[in-house]
Each structure stands twice: as C-alpha cells, then as structure tokens.
Chain A
Amino acid sequence: MKQFLSLSLAAIVATSAIAAEKIVIKGSDTLGAKLVPMLAEDYKARNGDVAFEIAAEGSTTGISAIIDSTAQIGMSSRRAKPTESSAALAKGVTLKPTIVAFDGIGVIVNQGNGVSALTKRQVEQIFTGDITDWSQVGGTPGKISVYTRNTSSGTYSDFKELAMKKRDYAGSSQKMAGNEQIAAEVAKNPNGIGYVGLAYLHDPGIKTVAIDGALPTEESVQAKKYPYARPTFYYTNGEPSGEAAKFVEFTLSDEGQKTVRKVGFVPVRTVN
C-alpha cells in the first residue's frame, strides 16, 4: 500500500511541471526529532526545490525501512543486528552504515534530588530494579521511579548494552514514547530517574548525573571518558545515490557538523 502510494505520488510528481526531488528519511527519534530536520532546512536553503519526508519512530523502523526500500536514508542510534543484516541480504539489500555524529546518553534526575553522582554499578542496579530506594545511593528516602524509552527505540537497547550489562529493565520501569516525555516526567517527579540524549539535558526541572565522575560533554565523549556514549548512523542501501548521497555528504561537511554540535550532539571530528 505504502509503496503503491509512493509510486503513484512519484508518478504525479514526475508528471507535474515542477520536478521536485524527494528524500525520504525514517528512523531514530534521537536523530529525527531535532538534528535531521534542521539539517534538512539548511540543505533546502542551499539547494532549493528538495522535498523531505522525515519520520522519527525509532531505530528499528529506520533499518527496516531500508530493508523494505521504503526510505532512502534510515536513521539509527545503534548498529544493525546480525539478524537485520541477513534479512537485508535476503532481500538483496546491503546495509551500509555511515557515522554522522556521536551521542551520549545522559542519566537525569529531578532538579530537587540530592544525588548528583552515581557509579556505573549503581546505575545498573537502579535500572534493573536491584536498588529501589534513593537512600541506598545516598539520597533522601523515597521509592525510585524509573522512566525508560519504549522497546523499539535504539536508545532503549543501547542503554541496556552500555549501562546494564545487557540485563533486562526492572518490571516497574515506565515506557515513554520519547526523550521529551522522559524529561517532562522526571522534571515533575522528585523521585524520578531516566535517560535522554545529550540534546535534552538542558530541559527545565532536571539535572544530569555524573557517571563515575564524568559528565557527558563534548570533550569527555570524544576522549571516550564518558561511559554511555555511542555513534549514531545513517543507514543506506549500499552507496547512497542522487539527492540522498548529496544530503549524506552535506551532513558530514563542516557546516553539517556545526549543526550537529548546535543541536547538542558531538561532531564526528574536531570542527572549528
């Protein structure tokens, strides 16, 4: 159905007088909420009549969109799993990752919380439910409320890998649809804890926790000092072509990487 729609749309567009190029980008909420739309705006300002269709619903969607050929670029905040690569291969699609930015996952607590530093072990224990009370990590007594992303988000499985030794989340964790929702709930809940991408650390009412003494900053991420940092990717079917290739190139250019920094991610290389 979607293919039929896009085909018919392509037919309509092709026959219309204004032959506008269209780039379809799907995937990660981390990249798709702020960074990619901003890059798209800048790109349009330079190249005129390019239409973008951006849908940010989670990394899994991004990779499966490339496998099903329903998008030219799939945004992902994790590497493709072996199962995804082979599913792609079966369909004659080769998944090609391009690192476009680094992202740190910041652990956030309520502004009024006395805890401002945790060890990696404590974070693991809190999110897996071994520790259930703030007094066990030196805070004021109160039952910890854990907020996580929903299961399809790349951040969800990344955090499992980076911070929880691949263990499962506590049954009592609450699944939120996006970074914004986690920040909003933690800001309202004095006993809340959650994790968000670097871009969301400055939301009102929350504060970032230092992990093993390191705060997520550009320096600590590039120096690999901050434990919860990860690359973020564009996935394409083999080498990108046409307008999509130009957009990937633009993302990696100095100008694109400056936007990366502006949004709160860490550039892939040092940019002045």
Chain B
Amino acid sequence: MAETATTVRSTRLTTSEALLRRKRGWFFGLSGDRVAKVVFQGNAAISILVLALITFTIFRDAVGFVPMNRHNLEIYRLAGLEFTDHLRREVEDYSSFNRYLGAVRSDRLTQLQRAGLPIATAQAQLADFDAYANRVADAIAAHETVLGTLTETATSLKERQKVAQDTEHARADLENALPTATPEHAAELRRQIEKMVPEKINFRTEVQAMKDQLPELKTANVALATAISELAAHPPRLGDAALDARLTRFTELLRLFPAQLDAATKRMEAWDQLKPVSFAESLTAFAFGREWITASFWQDWYGILPLLFGSLLISTIALFIAIPLGLAAAIYVNQVARPVEQKFIKPTIEFVSAIPSVVLGFFGIAVLGESLRKLSQLPAFDWVPGFPFSERLNATTAACLLALMAVPTIFSLAEDAINNVPRSFKEASLALGSTRLQTIVHIIIPSALSGIMAAILLGLGRVIGETMVVLLCAGNRIQIPDFTAGLGTAFQPVHTMTGIIAQEMGEVVRGSLHYRALFMVGVVLFLISLLINWLAQKIVRRYRIAA
C-alpha cells in the first residue's frame, strides 16, 4: 500500500482502499478516515440489530397466544359452552326464517305503498301475514327457554372458574411476597391468604345438570316438528306471483329444519366434555376462525379471517384504481411527455406521498365518503352494483384514498423501470418502422415488465400496511364481506388487520389473550409484507434484461 501510494496519485482509488489508507491526523489511535469507516459500519450494524430486536419481540409476544388460546378453548369445552353452542347455532339458524319473512313483508309493503295505499291501510292488509310470522317466531320458544337455561349455567360456571383461577393467582402472588415482608405485614398477608380459598369446581357434575336438559329438548324437538309441518302446509298468500313463489320456497326450507335440529341434538348427545384441545386446534382457530369477538359475556373468539378479507378487499380495490393511474402516468412521462410536462408532472405526483395520512383520512370522512354516498343515492345510478348504499364509511371510500397513496410509489418505480430499458431496443424498433405506440406496447412495457411488477407489489405493500386511513374510513365492521353481493361487495364496511391493532392495542391488558391475539395479527402482517418484498426482489432479479 505505502509504496504504491506515490505512484497511484493520478488514478482514482476505490472507496474501500481510500478509507483504509493511512493518513496523518490521529484521533484516539485512529486516522480520520478510519473513524469515518467505523461510524458507517456501526450505523449499519445498529439498524440491522434494531430490526432483529423488533422482529424478535413481536414473535415472542405472539407465540404465547397458542397455549393461552388452547386454555381458552379447553374451558369453552369443559364448562359446557360448546355443548350450548350446538343448540345456539340451531336457534340462530331458525331466526333466519324470521328474517326471510321480514324481507318478504317489507317488499310487499313497498309494493302496496307504490300502489298508492296509505301506510296504515297497507299495514292492516298485512295483518294475516304478521300473525303467521309471529306463529313461526313463537314455534321455537321452548328451545329458546332451554337455551337460556344452558347459557346461564355455562356462563356462571365459566365465571366461577375465572374467579377461582384469579384467586389462585392472587394467593400465589401474596405467598411470594411473604419471605421479604416485615413481620406485621407478613401477618396481614397471612390473614389475606387464609381468606383466599379457590373453589374446586367439579366440571363433570356441574355439566351433568346441563346434559339433563336433553330429554326436555327432545320433547321440544317433536313439538317443533309438528308445528312446522302445520305451518309449512298453510303458508299465507299475498297475491303477488313472485312473492308467493318466495313463500313456497320458504315452506320448503322450513320443512328441512327438523332434520337439521335432530342432527344437532345427536351431536349434543355424543359430545365429549373431556376431549383435550390440541395446539394445532388452537392455532387453526386463529388462522381459519371466521369470528373476531372480544369482551364477550359468552366466549371470545380470535379468528383472523374477517380482518384478512377486509384488508385484501380494500387492497384489491385500491390496486384496481392505482395501477392504471400510476402506470399510465409513468409511461406518459417517460416516453411521450415534453420536458416541460415532465418537469411539472413528476414532482406533482411525488408530492401526493407527502400528504399525511391523517389528513387524507379526514378528507375521506368529510368529503369523499359523503359525496360517494350522495352519488349512490341518485336514481340515475341505480344500475351500479351495490348502489344505493347508506354507509359513507366503507371499503371503497378507504380504497380510493389508499390508491392515491399507492400511485406515487407505483409511478416512481415503474418510471425507473421504463427508464432502464436500453435505448437500443427502442431505436431498433423504431428503425424497423414501428410506430411509437407499437414500440411502447410491444417493446418497452414487456422489457420493463419485471420492474413494473415489482412496482405494483411494493404499491400493494404500501396499501396493506396503511393504518390511519382504514381506521377512519373503512367503517370498522368485523365480518367477512358478503361476496354474494358481487361487485356490490366493494361498498360494504370492513375492518382490517392494521385497523384492529390500532383500535384495540391501546386498551388491552398487557399479556392477556386479547393482547397476544393482536400480536398474532401483527405477525401475519409482518409475514405478508416480507412475502411481498421478497417476491418483488425475486421478480426483479429473475427477469432483469441484460443491456
């Protein structure tokens, strides 16, 4: 190094060599250049270390979810909540008959009003129908009574179990405090410990009382079957072909119910209270759970599907809007625009990403959501699927704003990708006599496709991780979107993975099951982001065209 230093004066050194060369000017035994190198190295190391730490803590807090949820599900089974839910599902299924009749009724009411009848007269005309609907609703009353009894027993049992568990915890904590306590404080602690006797619950005998309801339930099943055959034989007639057809369909569905109820009763008879819950079951309850119910008096469920579908629905709509905008702008700016236009368009689009998402969220609530709703109410737009809708906060409102946030990402990266297509490709194509449009469509875009795909993926990453906008504008309905609505699904309120973490994390008890469930959602988000970035990198590397 030292002898070459004099000869290499005229040629440039590589950066690493230049940093390693000895210079005068000592600083704690290091030359200035070395200090610089150490600082750079140190900073890079710190970033990686911090990233590793964050990842580790997220996973550490999430992992505890599985055993805790397993315990949660075990109690669900032991205390007879599962047993009760077999019946609950049937009773809830039955209530869909009431809703079916309600829908028919409201359609008929609209018909009568359109025909010019005053509302009181129309309601009076429906009196027979209402009487029938009430008979249908009342037929399940006996089951509802049994369900009520079971519910009460199971909840009180669960509550007692909770209290017993807590008492045990408290007792253990006080016992741990004994050795270090002063004598008089220890005496006080002992008094407290004596007061705390956790109840020993014998779940088998307690649940036996619930199983003893089965004969009553079977009697009720027979009575219901009789009532249903009676009801299905004489449906009311409304004098409108379409509605009467729906009522006929209703009777067919109603006839199927007793068999379903008997099957549920058989399941209740075969139900095994002491069957253990596996870790896999606990994990699948999260990964494939269709319900996210917290702070319930009955049973908390932490299923990620409603949130995952909400996130995916919003992202899909957002990309659907953002891809054409971002790509078209990128192609135009790079291939068609005059320099003056370029100087104006590029900074403008990139400026959008400088708008804080909270501001966009407020804009979404106050302006965009409201105007979309007003637009949907216009009779001229009735042909649009999902119109008219009455919630101004829904998936589309949030997705429009997210699209706005994804456009700059997609635009910049796609523009870079197009810029990297070797000039010779374009020139060769033009020299062969193709038009500029043909060149763009057949040469430039296919060559830049890998970069464009990466741009789209990173745009998706931007959208799926956004929190503030979805929290404010998505409507926060924790339910798997109803895809039977076709394209109208886009106008349903949804809740998202990022939204649920933001909404509930500040308010859960540290270390509780709910807290860990939120961390599990965080892990899923983390994995999705990781997958997106990995895919983007892979695509770019795999399909890069050598210049």
Determine whether B293 belongs to the interface, using a CB cutoff of 8 Å to chain A.
yes
Determine whether A141 belongs to the interface, using a CB cutoff of 8 Å to chain B.
yes
Instruction: Determine which of A57, A60, A136, A150 lies in contact with B106 in the assembled complex, contact meaning CB atoms within 8 Å.
Output: A136
Cα(A191)–Cα(B106), bound, Å? 15
Query: Do A172 and B479 touch across chains, with their CB atoms under 8 A apart?
Result: yes
Query: Do B297 and A166 touch across chains, with their CB atoms under 8 A apart?
Result: yes
Give A151 Cβ to nearest chain B Cβ, in Å: 5
Cα(A16)–Cα(B265), bound, Å? 73
Determine whether B393 belongs to the interface, using a CB cutoff of 8 Å to chain A.
yes
Determine whether A135 belongs to the interface, using a CB cutoff of 8 Å to chain B.
yes
Cα(A111)–Cα(B508), bound, Å? 35
Query: Do B102 and A82 touch across chains, with their CB atoms under 8 A apart?
Result: no
Query: Do A168 and B166 touch across chains, with their CB atoms under 8 A apart?
Result: no
Instruction: Annotate A131-162 by CB proximity to B: 1 below 8 A, 0 otherwise.
Output: 11101100001110100001110001100110
Query: Do B95 and A91 touch across chains, with their CB atoms under 8 A apart?
Result: no
Cα(A161)–Cα(B297), bound, Å? 9
Q: Which of A3-11, A98-106, A173-181 contacts B (4 or more CB under 8 A)?
A: A173-181
Given contacts A141-B109, A150-B503, A171-B478, contact A133 B103 (CB under 8 A): yes
Query: Do B102 and A58 touch across chains, with their CB atoms under 8 A apart?
Result: no
Determine whether B353 belongs to the interface, using a CB cutoff of 8 Å to chain A.
no
Query: Do A174 and B294 touch across chains, with their CB atoms under 8 A apart?
Result: no
Give B163 Cβ to nearest chain A Cβ, in Å: 5
Please classify how large the interface on chain B is, using the bins under 10, 10 to 19, 20 to 34, 35 or more. 35 or more
Cα(A142)–Cα(B106), bound, Å? 9
Which residues of A9-64 have CB atoms within 8 Å of chain B's CB atoms? Answer: 57-58, 60-61, 64
B137 nearest CB neighbor, chain A only: A130
Cα(A57)–Cα(B503), bound, Å? 10
Instruction: Determine which of B95, B159, B294, B296 lies in contact with A82 in the assembled complex, contact meaning CB atoms within 8 Å.
Output: B159
Which residues of B103-139 have CB atoms within 8 Å of chain A's CB atoms? Answer: 103, 105-106, 109-110
B471 nearest CB neighbor, chain A only: A177
Please classify how large the interface on chain A is, using the bins under 10, 10 to 19, 20 to 34, 35 or more. 35 or more
Query: Do B475 and A174 touch across chains, with their CB atoms under 8 A apart?
Result: yes
Query: Do B495 and A58 touch across chains, with their CB atoms under 8 A apart?
Result: no
Query: Do B170 and A60 touch across chains, with their CB atoms under 8 A apart?
Result: no
Query: Do A143 and B166 touch across chains, with their CB atoms under 8 A apart?
Result: no
Instruction: Annotate A183-218 by CB proximity to B: 1 below 8 A, 0 otherwise.
Output: 001001111100000000000000000000000000
Query: Do A173 and B98 touch across chains, with their CB atoms under 8 A apart?
Result: no
Instruction: Determine which of B106, B177, B295 lies in contact with A135 in the assembled complex, contact meaning CB atoms within 8 Å.
Output: B106
Given contacts A141-B106, A143-B390, A174-B393, contact A130 B163 (CB under 8 A): no
Given contacts A86-B170, A189-B391, A191-B390, contact A151 B294 (CB under 8 A): yes
Instruction: Annotate A90-129 by CB proximity to B: 1 below 8 A, 0 otherwise.
Output: 1110000000000000000000000000000000000000
Determine whether B466 belongs to the interface, using a CB cutoff of 8 Å to chain A.
no
Instruction: Give the chain A neighbours of B393 by CB distance below 8 A.
Output: 174, 185
Query: Do A152 and B507 touch across chains, with their CB atoms under 8 A apart?
Result: yes
Instruction: Give the chain B neighbours of A161 by CB distance below 8 A.
Output: 297
Instruction: Give the chain A neighbours of B478 by CB distance below 8 A.
Output: 171, 175
Determine whether A89 belongs to the interface, using a CB cutoff of 8 Å to chain B.
yes
Query: Do A90 and B169 touch across chains, with their CB atoms under 8 A apart?
Result: yes
Give B155 Cβ to nearest chain A Cβ, in Å: 8
Instruction: Give the chain B neighbours of A173 by CB distance below 8 A.
Output: 477
Determine whether A83 belongs to the interface, using a CB cutoff of 8 Å to chain B.
yes
Cα(A259)–Cα(B475), bound, Å? 34
Cα(A141)–Cα(B119), bound, Å? 11
Instruction: Determine which of A91, A142, A152 lies in contact with B173 in the assembled complex, contact meaning CB atoms within 8 Å.
Output: A91
Determine whether B533 belongs to the interface, using a CB cutoff of 8 Å to chain A.
no
Query: Do B163 and A82 touch across chains, with their CB atoms under 8 A apart?
Result: yes
Query: Do B507 and A86 touch across chains, with their CB atoms under 8 A apart?
Result: no
Query: Do A132 and B102 touch across chains, with their CB atoms under 8 A apart?
Result: yes
B99 nearest CB neighbor, chain A only: A132
Give B126 Cβ to nearest chain A Cβ, in Å: 10
Query: Do A157 and B109 touch across chains, with their CB atoms under 8 A apart?
Result: no
Given contacts A90-B169, A174-B493, contact A130 B294 (CB under 8 A): no
Instruction: Give the chain A neighbours of B419 by CB distance below 8 A.
Output: none
Instruction: Give the chain A neighbours of B102 by CB distance below 8 A.
Output: 131-133, 135-136
Instruction: Determine which of A61, A143, A189 lies in contact with B392 in the assembled complex, contact meaning CB atoms within 8 Å.
Output: A189
Cα(A174)–Cα(B167), bound, Å? 36
Determine whether A87 belongs to the interface, using a CB cutoff of 8 Å to chain B.
yes
Query: Do A60 and B392 touch across chains, with their CB atoms under 8 A apart?
Result: no
Query: Do A188 and B503 touch across chains, with their CB atoms under 8 A apart?
Result: no
Query: Do B508 and A152 touch across chains, with their CB atoms under 8 A apart?
Result: yes
Instruction: Give the chain B neighbours of A167 by CB distance below 8 A.
Output: 297-298
Query: Do B105 and A135 touch across chains, with their CB atoms under 8 A apart?
Result: yes
Determine whether B476 belongs to the interface, using a CB cutoff of 8 Å to chain A.
yes
Give A24 Cβ to nearest chain B Cβ, in Å: 16
Query: Do B298 and A166 touch across chains, with their CB atoms under 8 A apart?
Result: yes
Given contacts A82-B163, A135-B109, A136-B102, contact A145 B297 (CB under 8 A): no
Which residues of B379-393 have CB atoms within 8 Å of chain A's CB atoms? Answer: 390-393
Query: Do A168 and B296 touch across chains, with their CB atoms under 8 A apart?
Result: yes
Query: Which residues of A are in contact with B by a Cβ distance under 8 Å?
Result: 57-58, 60-61, 64, 68, 82-83, 86-87, 89-92, 130-133, 135-136, 141-143, 145, 150-152, 156-157, 160-161, 166-168, 171-177, 185, 188-192
13 A-B contact pairs sorted by A residue (CB < 8 Å): A60-B507, A60-B509, A82-B159, A83-B163, A87-B169, A89-B192, A143-B390, A152-B506, A171-B291, A171-B479, A173-B477, A174-B476, A190-B390
Q: A57-B506, A86-B170, A150-B507 are in contact. List 8 more A-B contacts (CB 8 A).
A: A61-B507, A87-B170, A90-B170, A130-B99, A132-B99, A132-B102, A166-B298, A168-B298
List 3 A-B pairs, minimum CB-CB distance, nearest first. A152-B507, A86-B166, A166-B297
